Structure formats: C-alpha cells, structure tokens
C-alpha cells in the first residue's frame, strides 16, 4: 500500500471509530453552550456517570452568548476546537450548534418542539447529528392559560412575554394565541429579542393593562428573571412560568418539566454518545411528568385566593 493511501485509510478510520474504543485517547472534551446557572447539574451528572473533570473529561463552556451572531460565533469556536460532543441548552444555541457542524454530535435540551424547530426529523428517529431530551410537551402554553383563568376568573387580557427569534417561543406563541381566541381572552404580545427590547417593551406593557402574564423559556429572558419578577411585583401583575425556579424567585405559579432533571438527563445522552452510540439512534425523550408550583406568599401580596382545587393539585407550595 502506498503511503498516501495508508494515510487516507487511517484518517477515515479516525472519523468513524467509536469514541469509546479509543482507549489511549486524551480526556473527552465536551462543549457546552447556552445561558444557564445550572450547568453544574450537568457536570454533577457526568461525574455520577464516571467522568472526572481533569482526568477523563474536560469542558469548554460558552454561556454569555444570547445574541444570534454571538451564538453562531460561539458554536463555530466549539466546532473548530474541535470538541467531542456539544451540549446545547435551548433552541437558539441548539440551532447555532447545528449550523456550525453536521459531524460533531449535539445533545440539545430545553427545546420545546425540536421537530418544528428543524433540529430533528422526528422524535423517534432524529436523523443527523442532533438528539436529546425535549423540555416541553404539547399544549403546555394553553394549560398555563387555563391555570391563570382558574385563579383569576375575570381574566380578559393576558400578556405573553417571548423571544421572537426563538423557534420554540414562536410555537408557544401560536398555541397560546389560539387558546386565548377560543376562550375569548385578548392576547398582548410582548417581544424581547434583546435586553434593550425587554426594558422598552415591559414599560410599554403597562398601557395595555394586562390581568396576568405568561413567560416562555428563553436564554435572554432567563438571564433577566429578577428584573421581570420585580416588574411584575411592583405593578401587581400575576405571572405564570415554565419552571419552579421562577416561582422561587417570586413568580406566582409555574407548570412544566423539572429543569434540574433535564440537565441530568442530557448527561446520559452525552454518555451514550461517548460510548459509541450515534445521535440518530437515540430517540428524543419527552417529559412524562410536569410540576405545578404555587407561591402562596406572592398570591397573598397580589390579593389572590388560590382555589382549594388547585392547592390540592400543586406539587409544591411556597410560603
């Protein structure tokens, strides 16, 4: 065999060889992209699966990139290193990672509808190099609207705070828009694709006099949660959210999947891929249980009485 042909064979073998089969390889390098304070949960789950940081695994973290251009650049950086796997939290980071590489495995999570977001071909058969656990099940937006209606029977106008650049947020917007129309409720759309947009449009919301607010899951919004909660509290606007963490911060209610569990579950996907499983062979899992959390202190401050029927349904009451 000529030397040039030998080099081609070795190069091709390196591309297709299962990651776990490379016993003498240096530590796995995991790229992480997405704005969240909970990445430590992912690292903890990886440690529980046998990955010791600095010994058999290292991490490259990109958390501050929320603007589309900066997200794209961060994803390209991770792909060019290159990392062995990219863990991406949220729809925009997952889409940025997908645009940056079609060969490096990507574990997405915190994505509402990965099919409609164009990340996977189907939940059962993702195809390509992207898979991971989904955050949202169907009709969660309308369910949150129904919960608000039970707490505020006179609800006639609700605000929806969302990022129009987030594909999952646009899907939630469409679902809630249909639900409000069916219930005869007016929907006020509050867009926030940047922090500056958020500040401006929250101030403009006051003239619309909403009875309550629903917030979607998005990295930009998540990074400003204290500001959003303070705004709702100071203007006495009840809010419902997707995760317990927002209720702990002072929001009225939340209904959604357990966020810490999602970070841990994403680590199991990364582990399977490092052991040699192809992303296309790992179905997208949807949450099977959703948490309903109520902040009774916030309800009292807003002058709201939570119906006993909802109290009995709550997974957690914060007082």
Look at residue 138 in the predicted model and tell me its pLDDT.
56
Report how far residue 67's alpha carbon sits from residue 96's, in angstroms, rounded to the nearest whole number. Answer: 11
CB half-sphere exposure, 247, CA atoms < 13 A: 26
Look at residue 109 in the predicted model and tell me its pLDDT.
92
Residue 240's contacts (CB-CB under 8 Å, 6 or more residues apart) are: 144, 147, 148, 212, 213, 214, 215, 251, 252, 253, 254, 255
Cα torsion through 179, 182, 185, 191, rounded to 10: 40
Look at residue 3 in the predicted model and tell me its pLDDT.
38
The tokens describing 256, both together, are: 């959604």
Look at residue 63 in the predicted model and tell me its pLDDT.
81
Distances (CA, A) of 134 to 45, 107, 196, 259: 18, 10, 29, 11
Read off the pTM: 0.80
**Count of positions (residues) in the chain:** 319
Class of domain 140-256+290-318 (CATH, top level): alpha beta
Report how far residue 162's alpha carbon sits from residue 217's, in angstroms, rounded to the nearest whole number. Answer: 8
Residues of the chain with pLDDT under 50: 1-18, 20-23
Q: Would you say 293 and 315 are in contact if contact means Cβ atoms under 8 Å apart?
A: yes
Look at residue 19 in the predicted model and tell me its pLDDT.
54
Q: Would you say 46 and 56 are in contact if contact means Cβ atoms under 8 Å apart?
A: no
Domain ranges across the chain: 3-136+260-281, 140-256+290-318
Q: Which CATH architecture has domain 3-136+260-281?
A: 3-Layer(aba) Sandwich (3.40)
Q: What is the DSSP secondary-structure string of 250-262?
A: T-SEEEE--HHHH
Look at residue 64 in the predicted model and tell me its pLDDT.
67
Find the largest Cα–Cα distance for the chain: 82
Q: Do 3-136+260-281 and 140-256+290-318 share a fold? A: yes
Look at residue 18 in the predicted model and tell me its pLDDT.
47
Report how far residue 180's alpha carbon sits from residue 158's, in angstroms, rounded to the nearest whole number. Answer: 8
């Amino acid at each position: 065999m000529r030397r040039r042909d030998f080099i081609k064979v070795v190069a091709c073998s390196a591309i297709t060889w299962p990651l776990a089969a490379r016993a003498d390889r240096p530590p796995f390098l995991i790229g992480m992209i997405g704005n969240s304070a909970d990445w430590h949960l992912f690292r903890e789950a990886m440690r529980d699966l046998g990955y010791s940081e600095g010994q058999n695994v290292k991490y490259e973290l990109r958390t501050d990139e929320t603007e589309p251009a900066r997200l794209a650049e961060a994803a390209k950086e991770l792909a060019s290193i290159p990392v062995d796997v990219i863990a991406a939290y949220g729809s925009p980071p997952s889409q940025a990672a997908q645009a940056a590489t079609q060969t490096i495995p990507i574990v997405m999570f915190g994505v509402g509808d990965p099919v409609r977001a164009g990340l996977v071909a189907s939940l059962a058969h993702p195809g390509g190099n992207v898979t991971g656990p989904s955050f949202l099940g169907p009709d969660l937006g309308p369910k949150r609207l129904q919960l608000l209606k039970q707490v505020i029977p006179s609800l006639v106008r609700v605000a929806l705070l969302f990022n129009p650049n987030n594909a999952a947020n646009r899907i939630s917007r469409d679902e809630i828009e249909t639900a409000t129309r069916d219930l005869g409720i007016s929907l006020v759309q509050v867009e926030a694709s940047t922090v500056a947009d958020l500040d401006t449009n929250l101030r403009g919301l006051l003239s619309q006099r909403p009875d309550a607010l629903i917030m979607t899951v998005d990295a930009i919004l998540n990074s400003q949660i204290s500001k959003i909660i303070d705004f709702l509290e100071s203007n006495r606007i009840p809010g419902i959210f997707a995760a317990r963490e927002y209720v702990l911060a002072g929001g009225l209610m939340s209904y959604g999947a357990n966020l810490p569990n999602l970070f841990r579950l994403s680590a199991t996907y990364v582990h399977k891929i490092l052991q040699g499983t192809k992303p296309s062979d790992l179905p997208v899992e949807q949450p099977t249980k959703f948490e309903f959390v109520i902040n009774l202190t916030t309800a009292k401050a807003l002058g709201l009485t939570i119906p006993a029927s909802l109290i009995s349904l709550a997974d957690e009451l914060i007082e």
